Structure 1
Amino acid sequence: MASATTALRAGLPDRYLTPDDIARLFGVPLETVYAWRKKRTGPPGFRVGKHLRYDPVAVRNWAAERMATDTAA
Structure 2
Amino acid sequence: MGEKILFIRDVAEKLGRTEAQLRWMLHQGTAPKSAVIGGRRCWRESDVDAFIDAAFAEAAS
TM-score by length of 2: 0.87
User: Would you identify which runs of 4 or more consecutive aligned residues in structure 1 move more than 6 Å?
Assistant: none
User: Is residue 59 from structure 1 mapped to residue 59 from structure 2 by the alignment?
Assistant: no
The residue aligned with 1:19 is 8
Q: C-alpha separation between the residues in 2 aligned to 1:71 and 1:56?
A: 23
* TM-superposition CA deviations, 1:13-57 (whole Å, max 9, x none): x52000100111122111011111111101111000310000011
- For residue 19 of structure 1, what is the amino acid of its counterpart? I
- For residue 51 of structure 1, what is the amino acid of its counterpart? R
- The number of residue pairs the alignment matches comes to 60
User: Is residue 41 from structure 1 mapped to residue 34 from structure 2 by the alignment?
Assistant: no
Q: As a proportion of its length, which structure holds more strand?
A: 2
- RMSD across aligned C-alpha pairs, in angstroms? 1.5
Q: C-alpha separation between the residues in 2 aligned to 1:63 and 1:27?
A: 11
Q: Which has the higher contact order (CA 8 A, sep 6+)?
A: 2
Q: C-alpha separation between the residues in 2 aligned to 1:17 and 1:63?
A: 15
Q: C-alpha separation between the residues in 2 aligned to 1:19 and 1:47?
A: 11
* % same residue: 15
